[in-house]
Structure 1
Amino acid sequence: MFEGVEFVDKQFFWLLLLLPIAVIWYVVKNKKQTAELKVSSIKGFKLVPSVLPKFRHVLFVLRLVALAALITAMARPRSVDVSTKTKTTRGIDIVMAIDVSASMLAKDLKPNRLVALKKVASEFIAGRPNDRIGLVIYAGESYTKMPITSDKALVLRSLDEVEYNTTIEGGTAIGMGLATAVNRLKDSKADSKVVILLTDGVNNTGFIDPKIASELAVEYGIKAYTIGIGSNGMALSPVSILPNGQFQYARVQVEIDEELMKEIANDTGGKYFRATDNEKLSEIYEEINKLEKTDIEEFKFYNYKEMFRPLVFLAGMLLLLEVLLRLTIFRSFV
């Protein structure tokens, strides 16, 4: 009944404690006012059966309900309708540059590096509802998998389709991966432009030097967060393809050009991270999520509707009804 209703002056509800006292007072008074007459016989009296005397207490009930309604009205009930409007005051455009070279199938992260990355990256994307996100994939060359867009379902679908294939040239062209991501962001009007660059190897191919790509990022005001993925030491990695098309795995030394990744991050104002297992990779994306916050301004509009008037009207009608009944139907009994 009172869902969505608040009372401005709740202290007036203490007056409801007077109602039980009024009931007790009425009962005691009624007993004192009831006169008794003892006669030896009532044969000489003509009895006219009437139920009206039994209903005379209705007058007191009407008055009691009227007082309860007045007290509730004094507490000022009102309904509250709250509408919210949000305004994004600082947008962020993000491009995730993902290494899809064969080494990303290494099994030091479970079930492998690429699948582990896709799982964590999808959670990151889903947690950025107010930002635009794009995808770039690279190995020996790079291309845009998804231009920056606010359609998260589309980005997640594209991310799910990311996998190792032999169509793209082999190797690890970090410079080209970064340059393609920068090219996607350079014309962006967003207040903040970010590249999340991930690799598990060293720059060993490509016609764009990573340092040149880093300088381009600085020129366009693009920040790069770099992530080296892979355990320390040896990792079970694909080394060849068997006649049946399956990869043959062997333990291979993990080599990540951390100095280069740190340099790119430092030059662009970002930060370098090392993900040695699934948990650490998840923590890295959580930290980036915290570092790159979108400012959202929220406006709340309150619409109040006073509800005491119907209660006052009800109390007035009940008191008027009591007076009318007292002066008419119950006139002979009260």
Structure 2
Amino acid sequence: MELDERNYLYFLFILPVVVVLFLINLYWKRKKQREFGDLELLQRLSPERSVFKPVLKLIVMLLALAALIMGLVNPKIGTKVETVKREGIDIVFAMDVSKSMLCEDVAPSRLEKSKQIVSQIINQLGSDRIGIVAYAGSAFPVLPITTDYSVAKMFMQNMGPGLVSSQGTSLDEAIKLSGTYFDDKSKTSKLLILISDGEDHSEGAEAAAEEAKKMGIKIITIGLGTERGGTIPLKRNGIVESYQRDNSGEVVITKLNEAGLTTIAKITGGGYVNGNNTKAVLEYVKNTLDKIQKTEFEATEMADFQSQFQWFLGIAFVLLYMDIFFLERKTRWVKKLNLFNENK
């Protein structure tokens, strides 16, 4: 998992800790000096010792630490905006978020497995545009067509059964909503990747697939689950409290329905692949994409950001280098100015 560079900002809490340690050390020194003898006498015995220099060294060290931390954060500044032309296809991921997808007959669960598969498919895409639809008993638009893959992954990770109020699995609603993501006037190839356990609780999935075919949409269906099936755990804070039950009080057993998913895919000239084998899914999708004709998208404006960490690291090293030459005795020319009333 990649570490967000902004997390390094928490290291700034080190600075007040350093100040507190400095004050504690200063208090301890003063206490020991009082135990040793008269403070005024000690000052006379060490007339070259500066009161301000230790504070100056502390300030320089704090600034150096702050600069190092900002270097780790790596601030970025937009330097230019350029026009980029992309070539690819439009892809919509329709992801089943019904409660049956919480079944753990596929590790870690059908839903988490589907997220892993979609994330890895996105990783192997080039310049294609993608969108995301979530569905259960009804369909819900999650992310419109975009080329920002990182945003797509972020939205996808927050998807779950709570996103759609109506439970069940309505494949026809998912196909219909996904169809609205594509531009009818565009000549760009259209691909719908539908991920589900295939337990369709609605009617009309095949009719919706026929309409998708007329729109030039090819559908790939990915099935998750096993024929044996499993229960649907209901968890709170990661702990199983109970299992989903039907109206008669019996524990629900949810199973993979490959037949329905296969039929939908074949209607549009697409294909079905079992999602339990991630490698097989990725290879199948890649082979399919290689065969689909790519078209050039409309010019897109993209901001090019440049890292600025080197400036902060440079400042930090200069300050640390200066700190070496800051001795705790008084500087002669500063001593003559007597800025801090050190001469009595």
TM-score normalised by L of structure 1: 0.55
Q: Per the alignment, do residues 105 and 268 of structure 1 end up closer, same or farther by CA in structure 2, a change over 3 Å counting?
A: same
Specify the SS of the correspondent of 1:255.
coil
* C-alpha distance 245-173 of structure 1, shift in aligned 2 (>3 A): farther
Residue identity opposite 1:173 in structure 2: S
Pick one of 92, 97, 101 that aligns with 1:100: 97
Shift of the 134–266 alpha-carbon distance from structure 1 to 2, 3 Å rule, reads same
Superposed CA deviations along residues 28-81 of structure 1, whole A, max 9, x for unmatched, are: xxxxxxxxxxxxxxxxxxxxxxxxxxxxxxxxxxxxxxxxxxxxxxxxxxxxxx
Matched residues in 1 for 2:282 and 2:187: separation? 21
Q: Secondary structure at the match of 2:166?
A: coil
1:193 Cα offset (Å): 0.5
User: 1:92–1:190: 8 Å Cα contact kept in structure 2?
Assistant: no
**Residue of structure 2 in register with 1:181 after alignment:** 178
**Post-superposition CA distance 1:218-241 (Å, at most 9, x none):** 111000001121022132423x67
The count of corresponding residues between Structure 1 and Structure 2 is 205
CA shift in 2, pair 1:292/1:159, >3 Å:
same
CA distance in 2, matches of 1:160, 1:145: 11
Greater percentage in strand: 1
Structure 1 match to 2:242: 248
Matches within 5 A, 1:60-209: 91-165=88-162, 167-187=164-184, 189-205=186-202, 209=204
In the alignment, structure 1 residue 228 sits paired with structure 2 residue 229: no
Larger Rg: 1
C-alpha displacement of 1:285 = 2.8
Query: 1:171 Cα shift?
Result: 0.4
Q: 1-side partners of 2:116 and 2:259: how far apart?
A: 27
- Maintained 8 Å contact 1:101/1:172: yes
For 1:203 and 1:144, the matched residues in 2 are separated by 19
User: 1:119: Cα distance to partner?
Assistant: 1.6
Corresponding letter in the other structure for 1:212: A
Is the 1:120–1:282 Cα contact (8 Å) retained in structure 2? no
C-alpha distance in structure 2 between counterparts of 1:281 and 1:146, whole Å: 24
Identical positions, percent: 30
8 Å Cα contact 1:186/1:220 also seen in 2: no
Output the CA distance in 2 between the equivalents of 1:201 and 1:296: 30
Distance 1:126 1:145 in 2: 19
Alpha-carbon separation, structure 2, partners of 1:269 and 1:194: 11
How far did 1:167 drift?
4.7
Partner of 1:213: 208
- C-alpha change, 1:259 and 1:220, in structure 2 (3 Å) is same
1:7-46 → structure 2 map (5 Å cutoff): none
Q: 1:188 to 1:125 in 2, by over 3 A?
A: farther
CA positional deviation for 1:102:
0.6
Shift of 1:161: 1.6
Gaps (5+ residues) in structure 2? 1-83, 245-250, 296-344
Counterparts of 1:296 and 1:228, CA distance in 2: 26
Equivalent in the alignment of 1:271: 271
User: Matches of 1:218 and 1:296 in 2, distance apart?
Assistant: 18
- SS of equivalent residue, structure 2 residue 230: strand
The equivalent of 1:257 in structure 2 is 257
Contact 1:124/1:286 (8 A) holds in 2: no
What amino acid maps onto 2:160 in structure 1?
Answer: E
Rate the CA distance shift 1:182–1:112 in 2: closer, same or farther, 3 A.
Answer: same
The reply to whether residue 289 of structure 1 matches residue 286 of structure 2 is: yes
Check conservation: 1:92, 1:131, Cα contact below 8 A: yes
* Correspondence for 1:237: 232
Amino acid at match of 2:259: E
Map 1:279-318 to 2 at 5 A: 280-293=277-290
Displacement of 1:172 = 0.4
